[in-house]
Structure 1
Amino acid sequence: MTDRLAVVSGGGTGIGKAIARELAEAGHRVVVIGRRAEVLEAAAEEIGADRTIPVAADLTDPAQVSRVAERIAELGPVDVLVNNAGARITQPTDDSLAALADSWRQDIEVNLMTTVLLTTALTGRLRRPGARLVMISSAAGQRGGAGPHSAGSYAAAKAAVHGWALGLARQLGPEGITVNVLAPGYVADTEIFGESWTPEFHAAKIADTLVGRAGTPADIAAAVGYIASPAAGYLTGQIIGVNGGAVLGR
């Protein structure tokens, strides 16, 4: 175990928990952030209570983000920040423009603003030089939403993360901090699809890949493990697709 500190938002389940485990096994102390305290505590126990620090917060709330930053400041400089928090919002409740606006605002708040707020709050705590910033996006941010209304807003919010992260890479690169975006394709073992998941949906997503299988949280965690490592010091300002070939080369 080293004194290196990692922070993973949305770290209680699925991809976030796999990332937290990957970083803990690499020797980091890991702060896992999420809305549900009991889920975070269970994840910390599973990963290892001696190296995992659960912090419950709603990252859409600036006041709670400020409290998270104060707690992390007590632990030392941040070596790795993984912005994984996000969710796919349900369809608008009706066909009105007001319902559509509410849906889009929710998607932008949950999938973009959580990343912007947490990163901004912790920028001054990042280790210089050497810190790694990783934004978990989605292949939807590269190829667009596959359906109307909320699918489009989800894709748009994730694409906005890309543009913001690339500017951040330019800003922080001279300080020895790298900034990269991981854009996963279909990962089956997550909560994001909710009631929209069906065997037919699963089969269609697998058919869209070149490797003939769904992604796993471990696939995404392994990619984060490399980006977060000292070996990746020359990798910055990139949108990296981990999607089994569902989206090619961009």
Structure 2
Amino acid sequence: MGRRIVVSGGGTGIGLATAETFAAAGERVVILGRRAEVLRAAADKLNAAYGADLVTWTGADLSDPEQTRRAAEFITADGAVDVVVTNAGGNVAPFNDGTLEGVADQYQRNFAANVLTAVLLTEALLPHLTRPGGRIVHLSSVASLRGPGSYGGTKAALHAYTFELAKRLGPEGVTANAVAPGYVEDTEFFGERGTPEFIAQQIGETLTGQPGTPAEIAAAIRYLASPEAAYMTGQVLHINGGAQLGR
């Protein structure tokens, strides 16, 4: 029997590609998100391709402690967890109305969507994470290095949380890392903002002249979750086509 993998935001984009790369290897995957119909369709698609019942799902708003607790109970009902990938989130509040109330709402919404969803799920599953050998991978963003502030700041906060986990769990044989993508095509991330002009600008900022793909990001996540990555912890892996040089 393969490992147990948990992927939040697993119904579309990078999360779905991540679930697929694990399912294709015969590993058992639980995908989470807020939209039941999207999760169900994703699980059905992957199970049809890679084997019945490899992928299960449960719906939850992971910024809410009680919903996260229920999700964790569902996930751990039949055993331990080997890998946690916190992919849920996004720039859910890209604009504000210029008032202090609007600014506060923008920052609070992005914090809930990107930090709380990762922290609450991770903390809920920590008692059930395999020791030694457990793996935690958080999804960050190139925005953590260059903004925008309300979204980029939340991703930078995930770096600090990643470093904390690496120190806390290293002695127990558990690693914690983050992956920070640049522009990735075939996701819902930009929504209506993803005009042809905007996409061309994003690609134009790279040194490779091409967008990233969900499968490329998923491959990096799978490596960080692998037994071969046991010596890699407390790191942020930037994948952005050179749009932002390493530091």
Q: TM-score range by the shorter chain?
A: over 0.9
Could you tell me which amino acid in structure 1 is paired with residue 40 of structure 2?
E
Output one character per residue of 1:15-57: Cα deviation in whole Å (capped at 9) or x when no partner.
Answer: 0000000011122100000001110010001111420011111
> Given the alignment of the two structures, is residue 184 of structure 1 paired with residue 187 of structure 2, yes or no?
no
Structure 2 counterparts to residues 190-209 of structure 1, below 5 A: 190-209=187-206
Residues matched between the structures, number: 243
**Partner SS for 1:46:** helix
Q: Secondary structure of the equivalent of 1:215?
A: coil
Q: What is the identity, as a one-letter code, of the residue corresponding to 2:210?
A: R
Residue 95 of structure 1 and its aligned partner are, at CA, apart by 1.8
Correspondent of 2:53 among 50, 54, 57: 50
> Once superposed, which parts of structure 1, at least 4 consecutive aligned residues long, lie more than 4 Å away?
none
The Cα shift of 1:91 comes to 4.0
TM-score of the two chains, using structure 1 as the length reference: 0.95
Contact 2:182 2:239 survives alignment (8 Å): yes
Q: Who is 2:214 aligned against?
A: 217
Spell out, residue by residue over 1:146-184, the C-alpha distance to the aligned partner (whole angstroms, 9 max, x if none): xxxxxx200000000001111110000000000000000
Aligned mate of 1:173, from 162, 166, 170: 170
Report the Cα offset of residue 93 of structure 1: 4.8
1:93–1:183 Cα change, 3 Å? closer
Counterparts of 1:230 and 1:3 in 2: how far apart (Å)?
13
Q: What residue number does 1:87 align with?
A: 90
Residue number in structure 2 paired with 1:135: 138
- Return the alpha-carbon distance in structure 2 between the equivalents of residues 92 and 196 of structure 1: 11
Which secondary structure does the structure 1 equivalent of 2:209 belong to?
coil
Residues 93 and 110 in structure 2, CA contact (< 8 A), matched pair in contact too: no
Shift of residue 111, structure 1, vs aligned partner = 0.6
Compute the RMSD of aligned alpha carbons: 1.0
What pairs with 1:26-45 in structure 2 (closer than 5 Å)? 26-45=25-44
Q: Secondary structure at the match of 2:211?
A: coil
Matches within 5 A, 1:143-154: 143-145=146-148, 152-154=149-151
1: distance between equivalents of 2:206 and 2:96? 32
Judged with a 3 Å threshold, the aligned counterparts in structure 2 of structure 1 residues 92 and 204 are, in CA distance, closer, same or farther, namely closer
Structure 1: gaps (5+ residues): 146-151
Q: Distance in 1 between matches of 2:146 and 2:90?
A: 18
Report the residue type matching 2:44 in the other structure: E
Identity of aligned residues (%): 54
User: Is the 1:23–1:30 contact (alpha carbons within 8 Å) kept by the matching residues of 2?
Assistant: yes
How far the C-alpha of 1:3 sits from its partner, in A, is 3.6
Aligned to 2:76: 73
Q: Distance in 2 between matches of 1:123 and 1:186?
A: 31
**Amino acid in the other structure paired with 2:34:** R
Would you say the 8 A contact 1:92–1:102 is kept in 2?
Answer: no
Name the TM-score, length of structure 2 as normaliser.
0.96
- Give the AA of the match of 1:23: F
Counterpart check, 1:161 vs 2:152: no
Which residue of structure 2 aligns with residue 249 of structure 1?
A: 246
Deviation at 1:76, TM superposition (A): 1.1
Distance 2:62 2:55 in 1: 19
Give me the whole-angstrom Cα distance separating, in 2, the residues matched to 1:225 and 1:109: 26
CA deviation map 1:99-133 (0-9, x unaligned): 11011100000011110100000000100000110
**What SS class does the counterpart of residue 180 from structure 1 fall into?**
strand
**Which residue number in structure 1 is paired with residue 116 of structure 2?**
113
Q: Return the offset for 1:245.
A: 1.1
Deviation of 1:144 (Å): 2.4
Q: What is the deviation of 1:92?
A: 4.3
